[in-house]
Structure 1
Amino acid sequence: MAGQLGFFDLEDRYAPLSKAGDPLEKLAAVVDFELFRYRLVKALKRSDGARGCRPPYDPTLMFKILILQALYGLSDEQAEFQIWDRLTFMRFLGLGPGEAVPDATTIWLFREHLTQAGAIKTLFGRFDALLADKGYLAMSGQILDASLIQARHPANAWTTARRRRSSKAKPRPRSGRTNPARQRRRTWMKCAKDPGRYR
């Protein structure tokens, strides 16, 4: 019978993940999420729990879940499952193997409260700014060095450059095909040069 997972056993499982380059470990080292606590508490306006309700999840923990959803494109249900399933997600959120995980409804309610308070754009803008100040950029499950990313050209500039290249390219010869209008134009030009020859 397998025993309970110990602290050192968990560290041994985290070690190869860190060696492989866990992007969430880098994100946790780059961004201090405690800087968001004041903004989150102010936006949520929660009670002090004196009525005996179940204490809510830590707001920075819940905000980290929203970051995971945005980074990996997860729905609320997928986020709940992936937190249970992935050790990297658990470590990023600071959760142990036996700790409770917010369910999909809790995640949805948290995001709705921030949306109603008009704080979502401000919080994510602050997150992007902090990441950019450190020289990084978050893209689809990766934390990339922004200095190594080449800026994309605007779509219209790219299209214009492509058209210029295509206009300079030589047209392909059409095997066995002639343009009737072009053929008539050539004949008229020949007639104009030497009318007597083409009568």
Structure 2
Amino acid sequence: MKQLGFFDVEERLSRLSGLGDQLEDFSRTVDFEAFRPDLDKALAYADGSKGGRLPFYAVLMFKILVIQTLNNLSDERTEYLINDLPSFVSFPGLGLSDRVPDAKTIWLFRERLTQGSAIERLFERFNATLWNAGYLPMSGQMLDATLVPVPKQRNTSEEKADLPAGRIPEDWKDRPAKLSHKDRHAR
């Protein structure tokens, strides 16, 4: 194995970006800083005057929960993948030399949001942000979690008015292939 060069990490991240890094799409689509006031309110951290280690930034931890939820990962697996995958390191805003939250820290963060009844509201808002940007939030196994464009409705306003009334639009009648592909009973 050869020695790492000065720019190897940046080149690797640039290559990932060129291949279509989904987490970069999330960063461009969602303004995660807009979640900070709700996160700070729900977490209500102490002012730190009694000492102790400072908590991780709330937005960073929320981004980790997004990764975890979209990929259906356990706390332990999330910790491992943040340490292992460059895109999982860069998405929350960590560098390779930064301290990574361990599984217990991730669990505790999610638990505090759950006890404060904020986690559902935060993820509803996150999903709404994706939806408004034209994406359908999908979660599942790590291999298929993705941003999916919302299906586009290509019917004209006249066609949309005809369908609920039970009428078939005029230009569809002489095109049986088009007629067979349209769902005329959907609401």
Relative to the length of structure 1, the TM-score reads: 0.70
Deviation at 1:138, TM superposition (A): 2.2
CA-based RMSD: 1.7
Deviation at 1:144, TM superposition (A): 1.6
Q: Which amino acid aligns with 1:51?
A: K
Give the alignment partner of residue 146 of structure 1, picking from 137, 150, 163: 150
Aligned residues: 148
After the TM superposition, which segments of 4 or more aligned residues of structure 1 sit over 6 Å from their partners?
none
Note the residue ranges of structure 1 that are not aligned, 5 or more in a row. Answer: 150-199
Note the residue ranges of structure 2 that are not aligned, 5 or more in a row. Answer: 140-144, 154-187
Structure with the bigger percentage of helix: 1
Q: Which has the larger radius of gyration?
A: 1
Deviation at 1:10, TM superposition (A): 1.8
Q: Which amino acid aligns with 2:107?
A: W
Q: Distance in 2 between matches of 1:74 and 1:88?
A: 15
Q: Which amino acid aligns with 2:69?
A: A
Q: Distance in 1 between matches of 2:138 and 2:47?
A: 37
Relative to the length of structure 2, the TM-score reads: 0.75
Deviation at 1:4, TM superposition (A): 6.2
Deviation at 1:5, TM superposition (A): 5.9
Q: Distance in 2 between matches of 1:69 and 1:119?
A: 17
Work out whether 1:60 is the aligned partner of 2:59: yes
Tell me the equivalent position of 1:100: 99
Q: Which amino acid aligns with 1:86?
A: L
CA, structure 1 residues 20+127, in 2 after alignment: closer, same or farther (shift >3 Å)? same
Q: Distance in 1 between matches of 2:22 and 2:150?
A: 14
Q: Distance in 2 between matches of 1:2 and 1:146?
A: 45
Tell me the equivalent position of 2:178: none
Q: How does 1:1-199 map to 2 (within 5 A)?
A: 6=6, 8-140=7-139, 141-147=145-151
| Identity rate, percent | 49
SS in structure 1 of the partner of residue 91 of structure 2: helix
Partners of 1:135 and 1:147 within 8 A in 2: no
Q: Deviations over 1:140-163 (max 9, x none)?
A: 3211211359xxxxxxxxxxxxxx
Q: Deviations over 1:75-114 (max 9, x none)?
A: 0000000000111111111111100000000000001100
CA, structure 1 residues 62+5, in 2 after alignment: closer, same or farther (shift >3 Å)? farther
CA, structure 1 residues 2+95, in 2 after alignment: closer, same or farther (shift >3 Å)? farther
